[in-house]
Amino acid sequence: MKQEYHIYGFERLEVWKLSIDLVMHVSDIVEDWPMNERFDLTSQISRAATSITCNISEGSGRLTPKDQNKFYTIAYSSSLEVLNCLIISYRKKYTPENSYVKGRHLISRITSSLNKMVKSNYSKIN
């Protein structure tokens, strides 16, 4: 028997789906990182990736475009934080090139989408 449940607006957003993909990708790549990074870089990149999804979902629930943009801007900044951690992990040779490229590609799509959302909201504000 299939259970039915309400689908929230953010769950339909392509950018949120991409950010979930990024969380899963980050989760996969950190498994191979050294244990000594567990409470440093691993924790940092994991929290930043999760922050993207949380801020997109919270922003989508806000009533005004201005309020939404606060959260979408934080999600954008968290995306850059993930990218920074990914660059560090790649330079330290913790992350193979194919995983690095995939992560960069996801981040590029996320930041591009967030930019469009923020710009669209600004046009509604002004």
Mean pLDDT by 10 residues, the chain (126 residues): 84 98 98 93 98 98 96 99 98 98 99 98 83
Looking at residue 4, its pLDDT comes to 83
CATH of 9-125, one of 3.30.1050.10, 1.20.1440.60, 3.40.640.10, 2.30.290.10: 1.20.1440.60
Looking at residue 5, its pLDDT comes to 86
Looking at residue 25, its pLDDT comes to 99
Looking at residue 81, its pLDDT comes to 99
Looking at residue 53, its pLDDT comes to 99
Q: How far is CA 12 from CA 42, 58, 68, in A?
A: 29, 14, 16
d(CA 23, CA 49): 5
Q: How far is CA 15 from CA 35, 79, 107, in A?
A: 31, 12, 10
The residue whose two tokens read 């968290």 is 78
